[in-house]
Structure 1
Amino acid sequence: MLESIMKVRSLSLVLSLLLTGGAQAAVILETSSEALRVDAAAAPKSEHWRSGAKAAAVAPLLQLPALADERAAAVKRRNESNGNRRLQIGISRGIASEAVDDLPQPQLQYVDGGAVLRLDVASPGAVALRVGLRGKNWPDGVELRVAGADGVIHATDAAAARNQADGDGVFWTAVTEGERQQLELFVPAGIDPAGVALRVDSLSHLLVSPLTAAHSKALGDSGSCNIDVVCRTGSLGQSFVNAKNAVARMVFQSGGGSYTCTGTLLNDTDDSSQIPWFFTAHHCIGDQSEASSLATFWNYETPTCGVDQSGPNTQLTGGAQLLYSQGSTDGALLKLNSTPPAGAVFAGWNANPLTPPVAVTGIHHPSGDIKKVSIGNNSGTRENVTFDGQTATSTWKSSWSQGTTEGGSSGSGLFTIATNGGYQLRGGLFGGSASCSNSGQGESSGNVDVYSRLDLIFPSIEQYLVPASTGPGPSRDYTGQWDVRTEGGRGISMFQFGNTLFAVWFVYDSQGRPSWYQLDPQWSATDVAGGRVVKFTGSPWGPTYNPDARALTQVGTFTLNFTSGAQANFTYNVDGVNRSVLLQKY
């Protein structure tokens, strides 16, 4: 047990001294890896149909026509011609545009504790499916369950579905095996099921399954020169094992299809928490809609060297918050909305510039295959590199002596080895010409890849990886809208950046006038903040602005005591009014 929860972090963080205005300021520029603590790991949960297995098996079927062969062939051609490494693995099929006649209505059945709406969706010939549902308006208490051919049931509650919905209100289900996905929407007692819609907007017909062994993939396996990570664990040791366990396969929706890339779970410098920061490429995840649709697959690797079959792996749904994504660096940082599974590791990183030549290692999912490793050298930088219309101003240039990269490797980490033997991320794959046809010689044709530079990205993400963790602070992110559920038309908007919480409060004052207040939170204990309530006055609305008319006045004090990620006790004294209320996040 002690070994399973041990910290791999060296605890001796390297401090680089930067001269700022003649004074020396210590800035943390690197850290080591850390194993996910057992008590924080996502516990496996066995799900069951609310309606019972027999009832779930006879739901109405919404079946699209067979997908035209040319559409799948076009995807394969685009993937083969794409210089950067994002790989399309599925085709979105809109229900309104795919000529489905006589759309079936979900079947209603009353069960213990409420009612269920059941519907099956099918796209003939699909290896796997995702379904886009209109879940933006599902009330609290509603639960969605889905399953595919393997019978594994995935559950999502209404709050998660709302959180993951894109700008059009579409929420994407988990990836399930086979051409048919079963849907069951549970509506608790007290909510009229007639007012809750199980509405299918679209589905993604997957040509490649993220769930099965590599040999079954419709788009072909990765090249023969790729090396299974398990084949190097003996020679490279535990530090390499830690690094590979930080790497996950990604599946997400973008434009007209499903795509796969690779990402890496990153550590931060705060020992008191384990926040799932996830690093990948901008050309993989460039906006919040893509991040919201993200599913990650962990331990997708063969357990035995030379055996073309994946062992047990875990799909993590829930999407992510997009914190940073920029085309000029091709870097992206997300925060996963769900806790990674047991066995995951938070990778170390180093935000200092590389000093070439230096040995490098890539860990990735080429062609969406089981996890592979590439070993080579970094020979410097390449400036103003363009792939698919996107230009990265400066990249790390690497070539391989063992292995290669392919479509699906996009965003995967470039690692170097620290003096303590730990692997540290230095960037993510942007694109390149590397393939199994290369000669293995550095700088040769067909053997060069370029990676984003963490040293250039770091100033934009430092607030997350090096949080201001001295003294009391929050144990989780409280960003969101908070209110008293029985008091509509008022509430608090909170925005959290690291340990800094910004809060704006809209309420009706003691005279019944609509008023905006700003809270000035100072953390006094873990998850407890308090301070001034202030009100601003300024120039009247108009074409000119008078900065001298702006004034800040304290009108009271407050205390926020967060009891969970979705509830807080709010006590305030404003303009002589004292009150304590329960706030909830929605």
Structure 2
Amino acid sequence: MSNTLRISLIAVASAAVLAACGGSDDRNDGYTPPPAQPPVLNVTKVDGRYHHNKSQQDSGFRAMSDMPPSASPAAEIALPALDAQAQTKAQGDSLGGPILIALPQTVAQAQTAEQLASLLHWRQDAQGQQVAALRVQAADALGIRLGLLVQALPDAALLRFYPDSKTAQGYETTGAEINAVLRLNAQAGEQGQAARTWWSPDLGGDAITLEIVLPASAAAEALQLALPSISRRFVDTDSDAALQAPPAQRAGLSKERIPSAGSCNLDMSCYSNGSAERDAVARMSFVRDGKGYFCTGTLLNDAIQSDIPYFITAHHCISSQTVAGSLQTDWFFRTASCGSPYLDARRTTRTRGARLLYTSNVGQGFDATLLALNDAAPPGTYLAGWDARLNNSIQKVLSLHHPNGALGKISGGETQNYANCDGRHCRAATDGRGRYYEVRWGDGTTEGGSSGSALFTQSGHVIGTLHGGTASCSAPDEPDFYGRLDLAFESGLKNFLAAAQRPF
């Protein structure tokens, strides 16, 4: 089944209180890229394309059947359940921002490297390597990310993460990969404990085991890690849309718990609109101050077709390098086909974070952030085109997004007006030239979690990123507001998207 969106015309409104998607996070205002930038080409529009890199980069994720059994008995840390009232209040406090899905929890037993070292029991394996393990269980958690505070970590160290479920996936990384992420924080001038913290991937479940393997040449004292806190997912993602991988891909995997979206949202797999562009869209999860969030982001092409995985989202989602380093992305996160009970067989996750290139805040800027993923874009993904020329006429547009962190949805509508936003309200620009587009939907809507998603023209070119609005299933005629790409382009995006040579 392949439908075409109506994209109907809706009347203009002059002001709206932000609720559905956006919000203000003006930290890191004025961040600019490093001074040594390559020349910029006189290019203001680039078409989309599928990327050239067809090789399969190792994502670090492993089926549990492919993970070696843990070679060392694990020390145990048990954490209590979070107070239900605190969780409810945290969700209420997050209204107007990205969707809150996880809360921090202190790990009193491992606040310092000395405390964690006292918990680990090292043994030698058959290859002479030193191995130790730690299991953390958080009662009632739906997923756990370990916040490892790194003081010293040998590049040659191997870190493996095991969920309790044998039908889930494990993860494997190296000290070198972790140190590379933390170096980006230091190079961006970010300091403090958060800048030295690396967040493990969310593998699902209420427990995770970390196994550390040091080469025979390294002493256990060469490792100095602490675990001051975890980020524990508390949002119940159970829904009617809990799908399996297709039978040929299932390999014993259980049904995946997937958030649900409002009933008026439209399955992107059911429409011919955006059939290529949807391959550029990812669900984002990330950690800020120990809290976990959902947003949406989109891969962008660049003028020289470098295959750098440029990724655009909202400033109120990610506004610092430290948060960018925690980024986890889910690709092809949609139904296999319209009405299918299965996930797309290509569904895959990347969790190596990203490099912050540009960010512009809400009140004075355009609520836009440009990242470069530390992972290569997965095979089969699309690099969306963009149009940084002035788009000043009413035109049909669409958005591809993950409302509430759900499977991919599509919305169709029209740009109506220019507006200015301050983080709480958006109002029509009196001079007719605001920093945001006002959009009214004729088909579908957006929700929290849609934040940062791209606004596409009918020709498939990105012209904005979702800041927020009041559109919803219960208020379908209300507007949404998108930061203007043309203004963000002149402000700094052009140093990357229109660079005459690779900028890094």
TM-score range relative to shorter protein:
0.7 to 0.9
- Asked if the contact 2:135/2:207 (under 8 Å) is kept, the reply is yes
Tell me if 1:76 matches 2:84. no
Alignment partner of 1:407: what SS? coil
Root mean square deviation of aligned Cα: 3.1
Alignment CA distance shift 1:220-1:338 (3 Å) = closer
1:63 to 78, 100, 103: 78
Post-superposition offset of 1:182 = 1.2
Alignment partner of 1:75: what SS? helix
- Asked if the contact 2:400/2:409 (under 8 Å) is kept, the reply is yes
1:316 to 350, 353, 371: 350
| Cα shift readout 1:92-139 (whole Å, capped 9, x = no counterpart) | 11213999xx98712322122511221111111111111111235202
- Asked if the contact 2:437/2:484 (under 8 Å) is kept, the reply is yes
- Asked if the contact 1:49/1:184 (under 8 Å) is kept, the reply is no
Tell me if 1:294 matches 2:333. no
| Cα shift readout 1:177-227 (whole Å, capped 9, x = no counterpart) | 101111111111111023313532211111248899854999962100011
- Asked if the contact 1:213/1:309 (under 8 Å) is kept, the reply is no
- Asked if the contact 1:76/1:219 (under 8 Å) is kept, the reply is no
Post-superposition offset of 1:41 = 4.3
- Asked if the contact 1:214/1:310 (under 8 Å) is kept, the reply is no
In the alignment, the residues of structure 2 paired with residue 210 and residue 323 of structure 1 have an alpha-carbon distance, to the nearest angstrom, of: 32
Tell me if 1:466 matches 2:498. yes
Alignment CA distance shift 1:45-1:217 (3 Å) = closer
Post-superposition offset of 1:44 = 5.6
Match of 2:479 in 1: 448
2:197 to 167, 170, 190: 170
In the alignment, the residues of structure 1 paired with residue 136 and residue 454 of structure 2 have an alpha-carbon distance, to the nearest angstrom, of: 37
Match of 1:399 in 2: 440
- Asked if the contact 2:59/2:349 (under 8 Å) is kept, the reply is no
In the alignment, the residues of structure 2 paired with residue 382 and residue 137 of structure 1 have an alpha-carbon distance, to the nearest angstrom, of: 49
Match of 2:169 in 1: 152
Tell me if 1:123 matches 2:138. yes
In the alignment, the residues of structure 1 paired with residue 307 and residue 296 of structure 2 have an alpha-carbon distance, to the nearest angstrom, of: 21
In the alignment, the residues of structure 1 paired with residue 385 and residue 81 of structure 2 have an alpha-carbon distance, to the nearest angstrom, of: 46
Tell me the amino acid that sits aligned with residue 189 of structure 1. A
Match of 2:282 in 1: 248
Match of 1:481 in 2: none
Alignment CA distance shift 1:205-1:381 (3 Å) = same
1:139 to 154, 159, 169: 154
- Asked if the contact 1:284/1:410 (under 8 Å) is kept, the reply is yes
1:25-40 to structure 2, matched below 5 A, reads 27-40=42-55
Post-superposition offset of 1:27 = 1.9
| Cα shift readout 1:454-501 (whole Å, capped 9, x = no counterpart) | 0000021111111114xxxx6xxxxxxxxxxxxxxxxxxxxxxx27xx
1:107 to 121, 145, 148: 121
Match of 1:358 in 2: 395
Match of 1:11 in 2: none
Match of 1:228 in 2: 267
Post-superposition offset of 1:451 = 0.4
In the alignment, the residues of structure 1 paired with residue 409 and residue 142 of structure 2 have an alpha-carbon distance, to the nearest angstrom, of: 23
Tell me the amino acid that sits aligned with residue 221 of structure 1. S
Match of 1:433 in 2: 470
In the alignment, the residues of structure 2 paired with residue 213 and residue 192 of structure 1 have an alpha-carbon distance, to the nearest angstrom, of: 50
Tell me the amino acid that sits aligned with residue 474 of structure 2. S
2:57 to 4, 19, 42: 42
| Cα shift readout 1:133-187 (whole Å, capped 9, x = no counterpart) | 1235202201211122344121221122123336412110111110111111111
Post-superposition offset of 1:310 = 3.4
- Asked if the contact 1:128/1:209 (under 8 Å) is kept, the reply is no
Alignment CA distance shift 1:362-1:281 (3 Å) = same
Q: Percent identity?
A: 32
Tell me the amino acid that sits aligned with residue 213 of structure 2. F
Match of 1:336 in 2: 373
Post-superposition offset of 1:49 = 9.9
**What is the TM-score normalised by the length of structure 1?**
0.67
Alignment partner of 1:39: what SS? coil
In the alignment, the residues of structure 1 paired with residue 321 and residue 425 of structure 2 have an alpha-carbon distance, to the nearest angstrom, of: 21
Q: Which runs of 5+ in 1 are unaligned?
A: 1-24, 475-497, 500-586
1:53 to 60, 69, 86: 69
Which one scores higher on RCO, CA 8 angstroms, separation ≥ 6? Answer: 2
1:281 to 291, 314, 317: 314
Q: Which runs of 5+ in 2 are unaligned?
A: 1-39, 186-190, 243-254
**What is the TM-score normalised by the length of structure 2?**
0.78
1:572-583 to structure 2, matched below 5 A, reads none
| Cα shift readout 1:290-348 (whole Å, capped 9, x = no counterpart) | 11111111111111323565344211111111111111211110111111211111111
* Greater gyration radius: 1
In the alignment, the residues of structure 2 paired with residue 347 and residue 213 of structure 1 have an alpha-carbon distance, to the nearest angstrom, of: 31
Alignment CA distance shift 1:211-1:31 (3 Å) = farther
Match of 1:87 in 2: 99
Tell me if 1:262 matches 2:301. no
Tell me the amino acid that sits aligned with residue 444 of structure 2. G
Alignment partner of 2:100: what SS? strand
Tell me the amino acid that sits aligned with residue 91 of structure 1. L
In the alignment, the residues of structure 2 paired with residue 152 and residue 248 of structure 1 have an alpha-carbon distance, to the nearest angstrom, of: 19
Tell me the amino acid that sits aligned with residue 457 of structure 1. A
Alignment CA distance shift 1:134-1:383 (3 Å) = closer
Tell me the amino acid that sits aligned with residue 309 of structure 2. P
Structure with the bigger percentage of strand:
1
Alignment CA distance shift 1:136-1:326 (3 Å) = farther
1:381-420 to structure 2, matched below 5 A, reads 381-387=418-424, 394-418=435-459
- Asked if the contact 2:301/2:383 (under 8 Å) is kept, the reply is yes
In the alignment, the residues of structure 2 paired with residue 266 and residue 211 of structure 1 have an alpha-carbon distance, to the nearest angstrom, of: 32
Between 106-115 and 46-55, the greater mean CA deviation after superposition: 46-55
- Asked if the contact 1:285/1:332 (under 8 Å) is kept, the reply is yes
| Cα shift readout 1:36-73 (whole Å, capped 9, x = no counterpart) | 224344246675899941646x5222111111111221
- Asked if the contact 2:401/2:453 (under 8 Å) is kept, the reply is yes
In the alignment, the residues of structure 2 paired with residue 127 and residue 294 of structure 1 have an alpha-carbon distance, to the nearest angstrom, of: 18
- Asked if the contact 2:155/2:179 (under 8 Å) is kept, the reply is no
Post-superposition offset of 1:76 = 2.8
Tell me the amino acid that sits aligned with residue 479 of structure 2. V
Post-superposition offset of 1:385 = 4.0
Post-superposition offset of 1:262 = 0.4
Alignment partner of 2:329: what SS? strand
In the alignment, the residues of structure 2 paired with residue 207 and residue 255 of structure 1 have an alpha-carbon distance, to the nearest angstrom, of: 16
